[in-house]
Amino acid sequence: MDWKVMGLLQYPVIVFYVTFLIAACIGVSGCVTEESARASDLIFLTEDFPPFNYEEEGRLKGIGVELLDAVYDEEGFSHPDERMRIGLFTDGYQMALTNPGYALFSVARTPEREDLFLWAGPIASYDIVLFSRRGSDILIDSQSDLNQYRIGAVKDDVSVLELMRAGVDDTRIITDPDPISLIHMLDAGEIDLFASGDLAGEYLIAKATGKYGYFKQVYRLKTVDLYYAFNKETPQKEVEWFQSALNALKKAPARDGLSRYDQILNRYIPSRGLSTLTYMTEEYYPYNFKEDDSVQGISVDILEEVFLDLNCDLSRKQVILSTWENGYQKTLSTPGYVLFSTARTPEREENFLWAGPIVRSRNVLFMRSGAIMPAELNLTSLSIGAITDDVAVYDLAGLGVETITYATDAGELIRMLEEGEIDAWAYAEYPGMRLIDQYARNPAVIEIAYPLSTHEYYLAFNKETPPQLVQACQQALDRIRSEKDVYGVSRYERILYRYLTPGYADGILTEADAIDLVSLTADALARDAPSTIRAINAGIHPYRDEEKSGLYVFAYDTDVVMAAHATNIHLVGVSFKGKTDVTGKAFRDEMVAGALKNGSGWEDYIYINPAESGLFWKSTYYQLVTGSDGNEYVVCSGIFKTG
């Protein structure tokens, strides 16, 4: 049983004959009680179970870890990292159960465990859920349905107790000390379901498979509270001291009217933490703009979907419309701020934390009609205007332009362009045209003269934002892009289609690329369908091409159920019969019907591109094949059209 010691300077792996550490540094004067001094000698054991406790870059993190730190900080003791060990839950459970001087966290407090430990808490709560493979037909309406399945659970975990309490026979519960082993068993079909925490399970599954959302949650079993569990022989007064210190952390405001406990939870629970941030944007049509006294646009609509997805108590009403320079500088310098839509560039990469992309936009040069013929255009000889801190400034610098006139107001630059004070204005294409219509005396005399660069736009978070909040926002964005509604369309696609017409991709793929990938996949399915389907769903090369961005394979069965998908595991197992693209075209039905009738063919439709944000015209090649399992599959791969 190897456990990691989480120290400040080094992280050696030690064997579990560690004796109690003596906190020699507890030389704090009279306020230190005998109980608190003895409690500081305890060894605290934990497991990899985020967001409550987990290891990252050699350090223990999480709600339970920070609360433990805070309890010790309040009493002026040395940092408790040196008294923490991380390992498998069952080993820690047995060690804390049988050895005085040990405590375990974060532990669900149940009637069966009540008399086995002494308790302090609660730390927080979580939901026990059951995960299944995507593509399985498992449907659980009530606990009475559970006993027909083989269910994997971590040995000694609360999920075992709750499954048995729900009436599941112990012969149907397969336990293992390592959750990663159970995840691999589920993927291989050796078990039907995996019981774990809702957030922790998603993390562990992504850790094991490399894909967030690789399995789907099919049933919510129980909500449980988490505690610190002390060995039964721990003096009662020491546990009472610990509980008293924990209670104080929950009650006493530290800053902004929040207790230290609330501050810790806000760093790890997305619905809480994201609700405390300030979201800023600018007038940048069609991505963000004000209309009818409300902030509208692609990015605003998507952000509001993120709030809904993560159960944040926020809406577009909390978004602040500002100038770009003010929002940029505020987010750059002030913790708790988010700026959108922000082009992610090498120059800005280290200035913010990022979630996205949301959408892309092309920068261009606007000039007076007929001022300079395109063939005669020499950018370095022009006087060009740009918004302070705007991404177009980086585009100009990359082209060697040194004469730039800065302003914080687009209206001022448009006036200067009309009056000949500058030769050109560098700005985003659609937002620029909208502003010209608003501010120019004669919009018809200003035109796009030169394309600059296309950029992907993101949510930019102040660098001090807890990374786990940014990660949660990214995962929500991924779900908004990838999960389809009952009509077969994602929320992301619907939002884009409200504001934009489909575009053309930058990446260049050929019909031969799609045909070759379909042929290769069809041959693999004919040889070994189960292994090939697993490889496709894992997104490994060549099924998701590592060199040709946007080239990937997917497959339906003849009932138009997605059998495999190399870029979007959320679609596997979903029936798409009668479902359409964002325009209402039932392209999936047409591909399957075409394959059954003709064997192969092409189909055009509108879809999102995993390599570029936005809606694109797509043409997909399909082919019918019989797999080694005797099932028929329609194998597909498409190319995103270029203008």
Question: Which string of b and e fits 309-347 if b means at least 16 CB within 10 Å?
Answer: bbebebebebbeeebbbbbbebbbeeeebbbbbbbbbee
Residue 83 lies in a domain: yes
The model's confidence at residue 83, banded by pLDDT at 50, 70 and 90, is confident
Which residues constitute the domain of residue 276?
270-482
Strands 600-609 and 612-626: antiparallel
To the nearest whole percent, how much of the chain has pLDDT over 70? 92
**Same-domain check for residues 519 and 549:** yes
How high does pLDDT run on average in the chain?
A: 91
pLDDT digits (tens, 9 = 90+) for 501-554: 999 988 789 999 999 999 999 999 999 999 999 999 999 999 999 999 899 999
For the segment 244-255, the average pLDDT, to the nearest whole number, is 86
Q: What contacts 619, CB < 8 A, 6 or more positions away?
A: 511, 602, 603, 604, 638, 639, 641
Q: Are 125 and 54 in contact (CB under 8 A)?
A: no
Residue 381 lies in a domain: yes
**Same-domain check for residues 598 and 464:** no
For the segment 134-148, the average pLDDT, to the nearest whole number, is 93
Q: Which residue has the tokens 């997805």?
A: 309
Question: Which string of b and e fits 575-594 if b means at least 16 CB within 10 Å?
Answer: ebeebbbbeeebbbbebbbb
Residue 546 lies in a domain: yes
The model's pTM is 0.87
Q: What is the CATH number of the domain that holds 594?
A: 3.30.450.20
Q: Which of 465, 482, 499 is at the close of a domain?
A: 482
Cα 487–Cα 491–Cα 496 angle in degrees, nearest 5: 110
Give the per-residue pLDDT at 421. Answer: 96
For the segment 19-33, the average pLDDT, to the nearest whole number, is 35
**Same-domain check for residues 93 and 242:** yes
Residue 86 lies in a domain: yes
Element (H, E) at 15: strand 13-15
Residue 491 lies in a domain: no
**Same-domain check for residues 465 and 592:** no
The model's confidence at residue 8, banded by pLDDT at 50, 70 and 90, is very low
Decide if pLDDT at 368 tops 60: yes
Give the per-residue pLDDT at 370. Answer: 81
Q: How many domains does the chain have?
A: 4
To the nearest whole percent, how much of the chain has pLDDT over 90? 85
Give the per-residue pLDDT at 72. Answer: 86
Q: What is the CATH number of the domain that holds 54?
A: 3.40.190.10
Residue 498 lies in a domain: no
Q: Are 341 and 288 in contact (CB under 8 A)?
A: yes
**Same-domain check for residues 237 and 298:** no
**Same-domain check for residues 99 and 231:** yes
Written as six digits, the tokens of 110 are 């149940």
**Same-domain check for residues 331 and 471:** yes
pLDDT digits (tens, 9 = 90+) for 562-597: 999 999 999 999 999 999 999 999 999 999 999 999
